[in-house]
Amino acid sequence: MNLSEKDKQQIIDLIKAGEALPKEFIYKLFADEEDVFLFWNGRKEEVTNVALPFHSIEHIDEPRHEKKQTGQALTMFETDLKGRQLKGWTNKLIWGDNKLILSSLANGPLREEIEKEGGLKLIYIDPPFAVGGDFGFTIEIGEDLAEKKQTIIEEIAYRDTWGKGISSYLNMMYERLKLMHQLLAKEGSICVHCDWHVAHYLRILLDDVFGTGNFLNEIVWYYYNKLHDSRKKILPRAHDVIFRYAKEQGVHTHNALKEERDKPVKKLKYRKVKGQIQNIIGEDGKAVTYTSTERTIDDVWRIRCLQPANIEEWLNYETQKPQDLIERIIELTTNKNDLVGDFFVGSGTTSAAAEKMGRKWIATDLGRFSIHTTRKRLINMQRELQKEGKDFRAFEVLNLGKYERQFFMDDLSNGARKQKEEIYLDLILEAYKSQKITGHKTLHGKKAGRFVHIGPLDVPVTQSRLQEIFEECRQNLFTQVDVLGFEFELGLMPRVIDEFKEKGVDIRPRYIPKEVFDKRAVDKGQVKFFDVAFLEAKPHIKGKKVNIELTNFVTHYTQDDIEEIQQQMRPGSKVVIENGSIIKIEKTKDGIINRTVLTKDWHDWIDYWAIDFNYEDKKEIIKVKNDAGETEEQWSGNYLFENEWQSFRTKKNPTLEFASITHEYPKVGKYKIMVKVVDILGVDTSRVVEVNLK
pLDDT single digits (tens) 197-254: 899 999 999 999 999 999 999 999 999 988 877 777 889 889 999 999 999 999 999 9
Whether 331 and 219 map to the same domain: the answer is yes
Strand partners, 364: 94
- Quote the CA–CA distance of 404 and 137 in Å, as a whole number: 26
| 387 located within any domain | no
Using an 8 Å Cβ cutoff, are 614 and 649 in contact? Answer: no
| 276 located within any domain | yes
Share of the chain above pLDDT 90, in %: 49
| 17: alpha, beta or left? (left if phi > 0; alpha if psi -120 to 50) | alpha
| 382 located within any domain | no
Q: List, for residues 624-637, the tens digit of each pLDDT value.
A: 877 777 888 889 88
Q: Average pLDDT for residues 444-460, to the nearest whole number? A: 93
| 627 located within any domain | yes
- Quote the CA–CA distance of 562 and 582 in Å, as a whole number: 11
Using an 8 Å Cβ cutoff, are 258 and 297 in contact? Answer: yes
Whether 242 and 262 map to the same domain: the answer is no
pLDDT at 580: 82
**Which of the four pLDDT bands, split at 50, 70 and 90, describes residue 507?**
very high
Domain stops at, among 478, 498, 528: 528
Q: Which residues of 616-634 are buried (b: 16+ CB within 10 A; e: fewer)?
A: eeeebebebeeeeeeeeee
Whether 552 and 682 map to the same domain: the answer is yes
| 393 located within any domain | no
Nearest alpha carbon to residue 340 among 354, 319, 322? 354
Q: List, for residues 637-684, the tens digit of each pLDDT value.
A: 889 999 999 999 887 788 899 999 999 999 999 999 999 999 887 788
Residue bearing the bigger pLDDT, 336 or 29:
336
Share of the chain above pLDDT 70, in %: 89
- Quote the CA–CA distance of 187 and 255 in Å, as a whole number: 13
CB atoms within 10 A of CB 293: 10
- Quote the CA–CA distance of 653 and 381 in Å, as a whole number: 15
| 504 located within any domain | yes
- Quote the CA–CA distance of 252 and 214 in Å, as a whole number: 10
Whether 193 and 325 map to the same domain: the answer is yes
Strand partners, 242: 193, 219
Whether 587 and 597 map to the same domain: the answer is yes
User: Is residue 417 pLDDT above 80, yes or no?
Assistant: no
Q: Average pLDDT for residues 379-387, to the nearest whole number? A: 90
Question: What is the CA angle 43-220-164, rounded to 5?
Answer: 25
Q: Average pLDDT for residues 87-106, to the nearest whole number? A: 94
CA distances from 13 to 17, 19, 381 (A): 6, 9, 64
Residue bearing the bigger pLDDT, 131 or 685:
685
> What is the total count of domains within the chain?
5
CB atoms within 10 A of CB 468: 13
Q: List, for residues 122-169, the tens digit of each pLDDT value.
A: 999 999 875 544 445 566 666 665 555 555 555 555 555 666 778 888
pLDDT at 612: 95
| 579: alpha, beta or left? (left if phi > 0; alpha if psi -120 to 50) | left
- Quote the CA–CA distance of 89 and 355 in Å, as a whole number: 13
**Which of the four pLDDT bands, split at 50, 70 and 90, describes residue 336?**
very high
Whether 423 and 497 map to the same domain: the answer is yes
Lowest mean pLDDT among 42-46, 96-100, 329-333, 484-488: 42-46
User: Is residue 494 pLDDT above 80, yes or no?
Assistant: no
| 187 located within any domain | yes
Strand partners, 452: 445, 482
Q: Average pLDDT for residues 110-132, to the nearest whole number? A: 88
pLDDT at 72: 40
Nearest alpha carbon to residue 687 among 513, 558, 554? 554
pLDDT at 29: 73
User: Is residue 455 pLDDT above 80, yes or no?
Assistant: yes
**Which of the four pLDDT bands, split at 50, 70 and 90, describes residue 591?**
confident
Strand partners, 633: 623
CB atoms within 10 A of CB 505: 22
- Quote the CA–CA distance of 438 and 441 in Å, as a whole number: 9
Nearest alpha carbon to residue 564 among 529, 605, 593? 593
Whether 154 and 184 map to the same domain: the answer is yes
pLDDT at 80: 42
**Do the bridges between strand 55-60 and strand 642-643 make them parallel or antiparallel, or are there none, so unpaired?**
parallel
User: Is residue 413 pLDDT above 80, yes or no?
Assistant: no
Q: Average pLDDT for residues 265-284, to the nearest whole number? A: 86
pLDDT at 219: 98
Whether 492 and 437 map to the same domain: the answer is yes
Question: What is the CA angle 45-48-50, rounded to 5?
Answer: 155
Whether 116 and 184 map to the same domain: the answer is yes
pLDDT at 403: 87
Lowest mean pLDDT among 28-37, 57-66, 227-236, 585-594: 28-37
DSSP-assigned letter for residue 129 = -
DSSP-assigned letter for residue 460 = P
Whether 523 and 538 map to the same domain: the answer is no
Sign of CA dihedral 347, 349, 355, 356: positive
Domain that holds residue 4: 1-37
SS (H, E, C) 283-331: CCCCECEEEEEEEECCCEEECCCCCCCCCCCCCCCCCCCCHHHHHHHHH
User: Is residue 65 pLDDT above 60, yes or no?
Assistant: no
Q: List, for residues 553-572, the tens digit of each pLDDT value.
A: 988 777 666 777 777 788 88
CB atoms within 10 A of CB 398: 23
Whether 671 and 587 map to the same domain: the answer is yes
Q: List, for residues 248-258, the tens digit of each pLDDT value.
A: 999 999 999 99
Give alpha helix (H) positions in 397-525: 401-413, 417-431, 463-475, 494-502, 519-523
CA distances from 83 to 384, 394, 661 (A): 9, 12, 21
Whether 275 and 302 map to the same domain: the answer is no
| 86 located within any domain | no
- Quote the CA–CA distance of 361 and 395 in Å, as a whole number: 9
pLDDT at 546: 96
pLDDT at 407: 87
